[in-house]
């Protein structure tokens, strides 16, 4: 008889599968290793914003990199885009329900980093 899946995966008590057998953890690390993604998601945790407002919240990101990352995060269904028509139409971005759910592990990672990583270079490395 197959094992039943836990309907509440956030409440699991057993140790997760090791990284070498889990495509899910590989995808999560790929998301975070792609420079700026975590910072953009944290910036959108403060509320919806247009690209200029996001650039104010994420110091040092270029317009081109931000546009590319927002497209990727939208394609992953972590960010939603709302196009406002009009003479000065601006796109507004917000976290999707999946993006909001990602804030939980991101906040834990933030707290861990505050406690355990030495201060140093604050900006993510440039990405292609």
* Predicted local confidence at residue 90, as pLDDT: 80
**Residue ranges of the chain with per-residue pLDDT less than 70:** 1-21, 87-89, 121-128
Within 8 A by CB and 6+ apart from 3, the residues are none
* Predicted local confidence at residue 112, as pLDDT: 92
Please name the residue that has the structure tokens 């994420």. Answer: 58
* Predicted local confidence at residue 86, as pLDDT: 72
* Predicted local confidence at residue 123, as pLDDT: 55
**Model pTM?**
0.73
Q: Do the bridges between strand 49-50 and strand 79-84 make them parallel or antiparallel, or are there none, so unpaired?
A: unpaired
CB atoms within 10 A of CB 86: 7
Closest alpha carbon to 80 in 127, 44, 116: 44
Please name the residue that has the structure tokens 């861990």. Answer: 112
* Predicted local confidence at residue 101, as pLDDT: 96
């Amino acid at each position: 008889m197959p094992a039943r899946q836990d309907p509440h995966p956030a409440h699991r008590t057993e140790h997760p599968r090791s990284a070498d057998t889990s495509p899910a953890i590989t995808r999560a690390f790929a998301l975070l290793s792609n420079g700026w993604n975590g910072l953009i998601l944290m910036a959108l945790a403060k509320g919806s914003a247009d690209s200029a407002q996001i650039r104010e919240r994420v110091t040092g990101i270029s317009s081109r990199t931000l546009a590319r990352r927002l497209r990727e995060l939208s394609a992953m269904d972590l960010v939603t885009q709302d196009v406002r028509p009009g003479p000065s139409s601006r796109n507004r971005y917000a976290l999707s329900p999946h993006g909001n759910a990602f804030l939980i592990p991101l906040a834990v990672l933030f707290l861990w980093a505050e406690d355990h990583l030495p201060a140093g270079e604050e900006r993510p490395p440039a990405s292609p």
